[in-house]
């Protein structure tokens, strides 16, 4: 799963944080996305989380948009 690999690359997360990141990823991923698109999505989710977005609904909302917006 792209989100787990990206999370491991980004740093150490506890099980509840990984669960939140995985739920967010599962909510946003599309079957039609390429591997690269899924990796970009995973990176956005993790970047938003590491920037302090810890509310699940807000993380989902912000992670729909490209970084920097």
Condensed to tens digits (0 to 9), the pLDDT of residues 18-57 reads: 899 999 999 999 999 999 999 999 999 999 999 999 999 9
Q: How far apart are CA 57 and CA 31, in angstroms?
A: 21
Cβ contact 30:8 at 8 Å: no
Q: What is the pTM of this model?
A: 0.81
Asked whether the predicted pLDDT for residue 1 surpasses 70, the reply is: no
**Whole-angstrom Cα distance, residue 30 to residue 26?**
8
pLDDT at position 69 is 53
pLDDT band at 68 (very low <50, low <70, confident <90, very high): low
CA distance 46 to 39: 11
- 14/61 Cα distance (integer angstroms): 23
DSSP 29: -
pLDDT value at residue 14: 85
Position 66 pLDDT exceeds 60: yes
């Amino acid at each position: 799963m792209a989100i787990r690999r990206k999370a491991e690359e980004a740093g150490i997360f506890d099980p509840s944080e990984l669960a939140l990141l995985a739920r967010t990823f599962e909510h946003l991923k599309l079957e039609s996305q390429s591997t690269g698109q899924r990796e970009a999505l995973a990176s956005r989710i993790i970047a938003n989380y590491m920037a302090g977005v810890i509310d699940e609904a807000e993380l989902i909302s912000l992670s729909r948009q490209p970084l920097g917006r």
